[in-house]
Structure 1
Amino acid sequence: MDADTLGGIQQVTHTLAQGLAGRGYDVHVIGLHRAADPFRYVSRPLYRQHVINRSSRPSRFERRRLDRVLGRIGPGFAVLTSPGVVSRLSGRLPGRMRLIGQYHGSYAHARICSHLGAIRRHYGELDQAVFLSEDDAWLFSEHALLPNTWSLPNPLTIWPGAISSLEAPRVLGVGRLAGVKRFDRLISAFAMASAPPWELHLIGDGPEEERLRAHARREGVEDRVVFRGRLPASGMSREYLAASIVALSSEHEGLPLVMLESAAHGVPSVAFDVSGGVRSAGGLLAPPGDVAVFADRLDTLMRSYDERRRLGAAARARAETFGLERVLDRWEQLFAHMTR
């Protein structure tokens, strides 16, 4: 819907755009409306960017502006990045475009919100429906009756030359401090599992920060939960190298980049088992919402350097399959499949 908000869909969009442009494709990133707080993902983009509407609400001029932008683009592929985009543009894109509908969430999340209904209504009419894991593609094929599913993971943006020593007593949580990330559960699990000198560092900002600080006080770990605020993407490699465990406590995720990035740095992760994407990224898993089991998984890694090193090495080996060049190869395989 907008292309420049700080978020996972936007990051993946710009990463893929830059990668495909680097392979010689004429790539255009189109935001249907302007971001309230624009974030720059690529310092020197090889692709072109367009904003259709200055407002977040549809306007009577939107169709004309969109037609004008699309009129300057030749035949090719239109990648629609969410159910909202697919619904809003249904029937409005030129016939020379082959339409690919992405979904960056999981089937488990889609079925408890409006997304599954939107996917059922519109994605079967597209040339291809793309999901983040084979597990989720199969579930959508079976339960949304889609004949056109395909799986393509999110790509890693970097491949670090160094890996973490896994010696620092630090657990890392990364994400917006908002309800869906459930950092309250992470703080509770950390309090159950750890003892000094272990610390939990939370990287991100958001509306839940004061509530989470109060929760840390109630759990008795206020002095060991460090709120770091939002950090630039360029500084995240340093944070992974300084961590020994990454923890993901979200209610729902598609394929979280945090798990892939930490794995690339040799850092093992603990997460709730909320999607096929989470399972494909590796790590120790706990049943969704089960804080006690999550705490037990954290405790296992905190107590054993050898286990951290073993799981970190396995995670890094698995993360190689999510490297940008490999994911771009898979996108080109999809393009070839669609044009056969």
Structure 2
Amino acid sequence: MTVVFTCLDADTLGGTQQVTHTLAQGLARRGHEVHVIGLQPAASPFRYVRHPRYQRHVIGRRAAEGPLARRLSDRRLKELLRRIGPGYAVLTSPSVVARLSGLLPEGFRPIGQYHSSYDHARGCWHLASIRRHYAGLDQALFLSDDDARLFSEHALLPNAYTLPNPLAVWPEEMSDLASPRVLGVGRLEGVKRFDRLISAFARAKLPRPWELHLIGDGGERERLRAHAERDGVADRVVFRGLVPAALMPAEYLAASVLALTSEHEGLPIVLLEAAARGVPAVAFDVSGGVRSAGPVLVPPGDVDAFAAELARLAGDEEERRRLGADARARAEAFRLDHVLDRWESLFAHIER
């Protein structure tokens, strides 16, 4: 079958893009014709798959488009889809669903994804857009049963369905959980709230040689350095910058606790990647997707409670091992082959 994933921007470093390329490569390996379309180019492209078996396309320009440029981009998109189609059009965000409304050629079956939570959608324009556009799709996909139920009830979606994010690989090696290291992974931007993680690490008063390692880059890096200085832990917060995807397994293996302090999340791949290597996690309880990955949950924004859990896990290696084994067992459900089976079952269901 033919499957087309369309993103606003398919090649930026981000969770939606990582999941899209993982699914595209997995389905292509199963013999399907797969395309990934970016409606605009990435400012700093990131290569997710070294040898893609799917085809990649970029439609528009990065600069703000006027009405004429938008019409030309829409025309190029429709022509591309006619050459590719018919098939399944997987639209990866509310903005993409709205953009492609009325543009899909006959024969395409539209499937809308949402990569964040119901609570996040409710707090911004996403919920209104989902109510307006997703009910008319063949399927509306959400990351957890909790979120699918909430969208079904509050956005009146008769087609809500759960399909989680997949793990690209299943590792055989697990962390020994002996390294005195707390790990944070993500863009150094406001929504990830690494300031809260730094404060929690400081308040946990972990004994030396425990350190907090932050992997990622972004506009908040210098402010976060200053925050660590004010909290008195500048010498124990290590800003690692961007780490190539091929080297990330070693980072998880060198960690004893993963920490996630985001303002909002859907189903973070970093939780799954850590869990698959037996690394326990502490996370703010911000979505059904986060809950489904099985971290130690803390009320959203409660830095003191987060600090208490960091201190508890840092001080109890046996508890880390117990929680890490539970996390790895739970992560089995997110193995790529299991998730691809569910995608193929979804396609068969739509055909019926």
Q: Is the contact made by 2:144 and 2:292 (CA closer than 8 Å) also made in structure 1?
A: yes
RMSD of equivalent CA atoms: 0.8
Shift of 1:64: 1.6
**1:140 maps to 2:130:** no
Sort the Cα spacing of 1:55 and 1:218 in 2 relative to 1 into closer, same or farther, 3 A. closer
Shift of 1:56: 4.9
1:42 maps to: 49
1:234 maps to: 246
Task: In structure 2, list runs of 5 or more residues that go unmatched.
Answer: 1-7
State how 1:250-269 maps to structure 2 within 5 Å: 250-269=262-281
State how 1:160-309 maps to structure 2 within 5 Å: 160-193=171-204, 194-309=206-321
Shift of 1:57: 3.8
The count of corresponding residues between Structure 1 and Structure 2 is 340
- SS of residue paired to 1:150: strand
Shift of 1:301: 0.4
- SS of residue paired to 1:53: coil
Q: Which residue of the other structure, out of 98, 103, 106, is the alignment partner of 2:114? A: 103
In the alignment, the residues of structure 2 paired with residue 244 and residue 288 of structure 1 have an alpha-carbon distance, to the nearest angstrom, of 22
Q: 1:282-314 CA distances to partner (integer Å, 9 max, x unpaired)?
A: 010100001111111111101100000000000
**1:29 maps to 2:40:** no
Q: Is the contact made by 1:203 and 1:228 (CA closer than 8 Å) also made in structure 2?
A: yes
TM-score normalised by length of structure 2 = 0.95
Q: Is the contact made by 2:225 and 2:234 (CA closer than 8 Å) also made in structure 1?
A: yes
Q: Is the contact made by 1:34 and 1:56 (CA closer than 8 Å) also made in structure 2?
A: no
Moved more, 42-51 or 66-75: 66-75
In the alignment, the residues of structure 1 paired with residue 295 and residue 9 of structure 2 have an alpha-carbon distance, to the nearest angstrom, of 32
In the alignment, the residues of structure 2 paired with residue 56 and residue 77 of structure 1 have an alpha-carbon distance, to the nearest angstrom, of 29
- SS of residue paired to 2:59: strand
Q: Is the contact made by 1:180 and 1:252 (CA closer than 8 Å) also made in structure 2?
A: yes
In the alignment, the residues of structure 1 paired with residue 107 and residue 121 of structure 2 have an alpha-carbon distance, to the nearest angstrom, of 30
In the alignment, the residues of structure 1 paired with residue 312 and residue 101 of structure 2 have an alpha-carbon distance, to the nearest angstrom, of 49
Task: In structure 1, list runs of 5 or more residues that go unmatched.
Answer: none
Q: 1:33-82 CA distances to partner (integer Å, 9 max, x unpaired)?
A: 11111111111111111111123544221122112211111321000000
Q: Which residue of the other structure, out of 93, 114, 117, is the alignment partner of 2:128? A: 117
Q: Which amino acid aligns with 1:37?
A: S
Q: Is the contact made by 1:170 and 1:242 (CA closer than 8 Å) also made in structure 2?
A: yes
Sort the Cα spacing of 1:236 and 1:31 in 2 relative to 1 into closer, same or farther, 3 A. same
Q: Which amino acid aligns with 1:96?
A: G
